Homo-oligomer: A and B are copies of this chain.
Amino acid sequence: MNLRQLLGIDVPIVQAPMAGVQASTLAIAVCNAGGLGSLPCAMLDAAGIRREAGAIQAATHRPFNVNFFCHAPAEPDPQAEAAWRETLAPYYREFDVDPATIKPGPARAPFDAEAAGVLEAVKPAVVSFHFGLPTDALLARARATGARILASATTVDEARWLEAKGVDAIVAQGAEAGGHRGIFLSTDLATQVGTLALVPQIARAVRVPVIAAGGIADAAGVQAVLALGAIAAQVGTAFLRCPETTTTPIHRAALASEAARHTAITNVFTGRPARGIVNRVVREVGPISAKAPSFPFAAAAVAPLRAAAERAGSGDFSPLWSGQNASGCRDVPASQIVRELAAL
């Protein structure tokens, strides 16, 4: 199946959905440049998804992707959260934060019946999932809308599992990728494989098309993953400084600095492993802390530190998501990034 048949696009560029730093504006720009724009829904409620998807449909007739997390939601664990606050206690003192005033963190709801209802109304061309797949019943509802179904695999085992569940294409997420690892069949980060090694092994292991993600920052990177057997490249970090994103000024500055050359996979911001630029909290508490509560409960306790540090102009406690190759990330319109990536 070729790119046009699979995703309805001619340019082999999928814009990675990036919850927290973009909504419809970036997706529209990428769609209108010929790529596949993506709307991340992990931090939107049903009304938000409807609003942002509606904005895309009002601005472009091109296909777009609606992305969901589909983790099994953990129960809040007051004991684990108390231990986590204890770990962060020196920082609360330093920033004069009263941990008793900490509010619940931003929700990161998995795909559910309400979201499926929105899909049935919106009918996007593509739906993608991260952290595995929803229940068979929910997956069937998503599929019944007519959407192509994409899902992320970080290992050959995950790719085979997704293929058996009937996905239309697999996003092979190499270890270089920024943001949350899609890992879902294991918790062992040693299973995470670099893009150059992962893509050909998944491409050989499954019959469905493979979209490569992780470390792709320019046309040469796109050409490389096409040589490895991918049908398209999924690119996130390169878009993070585009005016169409909501990336914070502190995050933008970090991406533009030498600091962006040093990233790590860390669980300190949400409880799930995700790649970002190494900053103070990652260095001092992580990168992987056994004390971080389950996803997404780690976030709440870090939030007031992030707020206090950002007020002082510091990104020491901010999730500065980035992949291992921020060299393509510039303050230019997303259409230019798409054009340059596709200059094969």
Contact = CB atoms under 8 A, between A and B. Distances in A.
A201 B225 CA distance: 16
A150 B325 CA distance: 24
Contact of A218 (B200, B263, B323, B327): B200
Identical subunits present: 2
Interface string A91-118: 0000000000000000000000000000
A220 B215 contact: no
Given A176-B193, A193-B325, A204-B327, 18 more contacts: A157-B261, A174-B194, A193-B215, A193-B324, A194-B195, A194-B214, A194-B324, A195-B195, A196-B214, A196-B215, A196-B225, A196-B325, A200-B218, A200-B221, A200-B325, A201-B327, A221-B228, A227-B227
A227 B223 contact: yes
Interface of A: 155-157, 174-176, 190-191, 193-198, 200-201, 204, 214-218, 220-221, 223-225, 227-229, 261-265, 278, 287, 323-325, 327
Contacts of A193: 176, 215, 324-325
A215 B194 contact: yes
Max chain B Cβ within 10 angstroms of own Cβ: one of A194, A196, A217: A196
Contacts of A190: 262-265, 278, 287
A87 to B, nearest CB: 19
Contacts of A197: 176, 195, 214-215, 217, 323-325
B201 A325 contact: yes
A227 B226 CA distance: 10
A155 B200 contact: no
A282 to B, nearest CB: 9
A155 to B, nearest CB: 7
A225 B196 CA distance: 9
A225 B225 CA distance: 10
A166 B156 CA distance: 41
A176 B200 contact: no
A323 B198 CA distance: 11
Nearest to A224: B224
Nearest to A175: B194
Given A155-B261, A264-B190, A278-B190, A224 B204 contact: no
B200 A217 contact: yes
Nearest to A219: B227
A220 B228 contact: yes
Contact of A196 (B155, B157, B174, B191): B174
